[in-house]
Structures are given as structure tokens and as C-alpha cells.
């Protein structure tokens, strides 16, 4: 069984771990000015929304990013609405998956 | 919501933990689905062995970066380029790590070092929402999302995908591809407690898509994560009290 890519996994760890650790292990990070802490408080919503939006709106075709519209928009919009309404992430994800399954069974992209 | 920095009473803490467990179930589904597709892609597109796929999920533990690397490996991209791209794609964790740092103040170095390796989009979102609800650091609030809802299902699903994934010919028909964006938007909703957060989320998404189309998705996500909070700060705070704990009162 091949292990050729195991060193690559270690290299990926070596470039990823510092990003994850820099704030948690650097002394003084928690003593940032209030404005900086306010900024950091907004990072979560911004990054997570960015990840979701890019996942459903941007596809790579022939090595180039292109804008895309499809069934995942409906799935994710339904998930967003349900989580906002019911405050239950599981229900939102289940609904998104159900819409995708039904939509594709019906022949939607 | 508790006043900033005031620890929740035991009943509130239990209620917050119950909510964390329920929200975590959604992330278990997400991590399992996403991990399974990674294992499947690693086997079919990247020709990874089981050991190689598991090494990626345990050692690199990089989520989206692991997917990207499958494509890079399949395309014959040189390792140095793969490493640089991985570092860039995962640079958003700098922001997560800095945002969590105030809550980990006073925790042992070893605990913070271990927590860093398990810092993901999912563990960040679930844990910081929990800390805000209880007004202080709660070990269960980090280790449950990091281990039970993310690391374990991600790795079990990777193993399943790389070993038995061939039996599933069209994962898209099962809706597996929408699990990740649905989980991300759901987690974002959980962190939106006022106008500022809403503005940060919307602007982060808009900037990310725009920059993704102009440059690349990797750069777009980071741009959205940097610019979105800046735009959010321009919005006057809503009536919801700021929920970062005061610096002197973050621990039991």
C-alpha cells in the first residue's frame, strides 16, 4: 500500500498549524484593543458566509472560476431560513439535503 | 443572554450544553458527509491509498484544503506549490485563532497547543457561539465540537469513503455536495446576533464571490473574511450587548 503522500500530509500540517496556533499560543493576543476584538468578533460570520457563498456560487471550469446558479442555491437558502427560524442546525442541513435529493430526482441541476 | 463576562448559572450552562450537543449533530452529519466525499475523491481522482487518505485527514486535518490537494495531486502539481496553496487556503484560521484567544486566556499551554490542531470552521463556530452563550470558557464547549462532531466523524467517514466509496456512484444524487455550504451558512446564522454581524456576513459573502471570480476561490474566501468584519464595524451596533467577555473576567 502506497505511503508516498504521507510526507505531503506532514508538510500540509506544517503550513496549517501555525495559522491555527498563532492566536492561541501568542502571548498578548487577548490584550488587543477593544476595536480589534470587535473586529475579530465579526470574523466568524464573515468567513462562514464567504465559504457558503463561494461553495454554491463559484465553480471552476477549465481551471477558471465562473459564476454558477443551481439547485444548491435553493438548498442553502432553505437551510438558512430554517436555521434562522428554528435555531436548529440539524434541521437546516437535513432540509438542504432533502431538497437536493428531490430536486435532482426531478431532473433539476 | 448573560451580561458580558458573567458566567452562566448551572442551569443555563446545562441548557447551553444541550443546545451545543443538538447543533453538533448537524455538524456530525456535515463532517461525515464531507469526509466521505473526500475519501471517495481521494481514491477515485487522486488514487490515494487508505494510509495516504487517513494521513491527510489525521495529520493535515484540513477540510477544504484536502479536497484541493486531491485535485493538485491528480494534476501533477509540484509539492512546493501544493504546500504554499495549502498555507494560503488555511490562512483564515489565523482569524479564528485570534478570535478564540481571549476565551482561552489562562488555559494551559499544552491544552491550547492541542486545541490549535483541532481548530476548524466547524469547531470555531460551535465553540465561540457556546462561549458567548455561557459568558466564559467551557472545556466541553471546545472539545465536544472539536473531537466528537468534527475530528472523529471526519476520519471515520474518510476511511469509509476511501474503502467502500466505490459502491456509491453518484454522491451528488444523495445531496452530499450541499451539506458543506448548508452547514457553513447555518453556523454563520448562529453567530449573527445583531446588525454588525449581519453586515459582516453579507459583505463577506459578496466580497468573497467577487474576488473568487476575479482571482481565485482561495483568495476570495480570505478576502471576504478580512473585508467583511471591517464593513461590519462601520455599522452601528444594535441593542444586543457586545458579548466578548471583559478581559479580567473570562474564566470560572
User: What ipTM, to 2 d.p.?
Assistant: 0.86
Distance of CA A12 to the CA centre of its chain: 19
Assess contact for B64 and A55: CB atoms under 8 A.
no
Residue B13 has pLDDT above 50, yes or no: yes
Q: Report if pTM > 0.90.
A: no
Produce one character per residue of A35-63: b if its CB has 16 or more CB atoms within 10 Å, e if not. eebbbbbbbbbbbbbbbbbbbbbbeeeee
d(CA B132, CA B137): 9
Chosen from B185, B218, B219 to mutate, greatest number of chain A CBs within 10 A: B185
CA triplet B153, B158, B164: central angle to 5 degrees?
120
Going by the DSSP 8-state scheme, the letter that residue B76 receives in this structure is T
Chosen from A50, A82, A97 to mutate, greatest number of chain B CBs within 10 A: A50
Q: Does A41 touch chain B (CB under 8 A)?
A: yes
* A46–B203 CB contact, under 8 Å: yes
Which cell numbers in the block locate residue B239? 441593542
Evaluate the CA torsion angle B190, A17, A50, B36 in order and state its sign: negative
pLDDT, one tens digit per residue, over B30-49 is: 899 889 888 988 888 778 99
Within 8 A of B108 by CB-CB distance, chain A residues are none
d(CA A84, CA B14): 22
Nearest chain A Cα distance for residue B183, angstroms: 6
* B29–A90 CB contact, under 8 Å: yes
* A50–B224 CB contact, under 8 Å: yes
Report the 10 Å Cβ neighbour count for B167: 7
Assess contact for A39 and B233: CB atoms under 8 A.
yes
pLDDT, one tens digit per residue, over A56-100 is: 999 988 889 999 999 999 999 999 999 999 888 888 989 999 999
Amino acid at each position: 500500500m502506497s505511503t508516498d503522500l504521507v510526507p505531503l500530509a506532514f508538510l500540509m500540517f506544517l503550513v496549517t498549524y501555525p495559522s491555527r496556533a498563532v492566536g492561541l499560543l501568542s502571548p498578548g493576543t487577548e490584550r488587543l484593543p477593544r476595536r480589534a476584538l470587535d473586529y475579530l468578533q465579526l470574523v466568524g460570520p464573515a468567513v462562514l458566509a464567504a465559504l457558503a457563498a463561494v461553495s454554491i456560487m463559484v465553480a471552476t471550469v477549465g481551471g477558471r472560476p465562473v459564476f454558477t446558479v443551481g439547485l444548491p442555491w435553493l438548498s442553502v437558502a432553505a437551510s438558512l431560513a430554517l436555521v434562522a427560524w428554528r435555531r436548529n442546525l440539524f434541521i437546516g442541513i437535513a432540509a438542504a439535503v432533502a431538497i437536493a435529493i428531490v430536486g435532482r430526482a426531478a431532473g433539476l441541476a | 443572554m448573560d451580561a458580558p463576562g458573567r458566567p452562566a448559572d448551572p442551569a443555563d450552562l446545562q441548557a447551553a450544553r444541550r443546545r451545543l450537543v443538538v447543533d453538533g449533530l448537524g455538524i456530525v452529519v456535515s463532517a461525515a458527509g464531507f469526509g466521505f466525499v473526500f475519501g471517495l475523491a481521494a481514491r477515485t481522482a487522486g488514487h490515494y491509498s487508505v494510509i495516504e487518505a487517513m494521513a491527510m485527514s489525521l495529520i493535515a486535518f484540513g477540510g477544504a484544503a484536502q479536497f484541493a490537494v486531491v485535485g493538485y495531486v491528480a494534476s501533477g502539481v509540484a509539492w512546493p506549490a501544493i504546500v504554499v496553496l495549502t498555507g494560503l487556503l488555511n490562512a483564515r484560521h489565523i482569524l479564528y485563532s485570534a478570535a478564540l484567544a481571549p476565551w482561552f486566556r489562562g488555559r494551559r499551554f499544552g491544552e491550547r497547543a492541542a486545541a490549535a490542531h483541532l481548530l476548524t470552521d466547524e469547531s470555531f463556530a460551535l465553540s465561540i457561539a457556546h462561549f458567548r452563550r455561557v459568558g466564559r470558557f467551557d472545556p466541553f464547549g471546545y472539545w465536544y465540537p472539536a473531537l466528537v462532531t468534527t475530528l472523529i466523524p471526519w476520519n471515520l467517514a474518510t476511511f469509509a469513503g476511501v474503502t467502500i466509496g466505490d459502491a456509491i456512484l453518484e454522491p451528488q444524487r444523495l445531496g452530499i455536495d450541499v451539506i458543506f455550504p448548508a452547514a457553513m451558512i447555518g453556523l454563520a446564522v448562529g453567530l449573527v446576533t445583531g446588525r454588525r454581524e449581519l453586515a459582516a456576513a453579507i459583505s463577506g459573502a459578496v466580497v468573497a464571490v467577487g474576488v473568487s471570480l476575479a482571482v481565485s476561490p482561495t483568495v476570495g474566501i480570505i478576502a471576504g473574511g478580512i473585508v467583511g468584519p471591517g464593513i461590519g464595524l462601520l455599522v452601528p451596533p444594535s441593542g444586543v450587548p457586545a458579548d466578548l467577555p471583559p478581559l479580567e473576567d473570562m474564566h470560572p
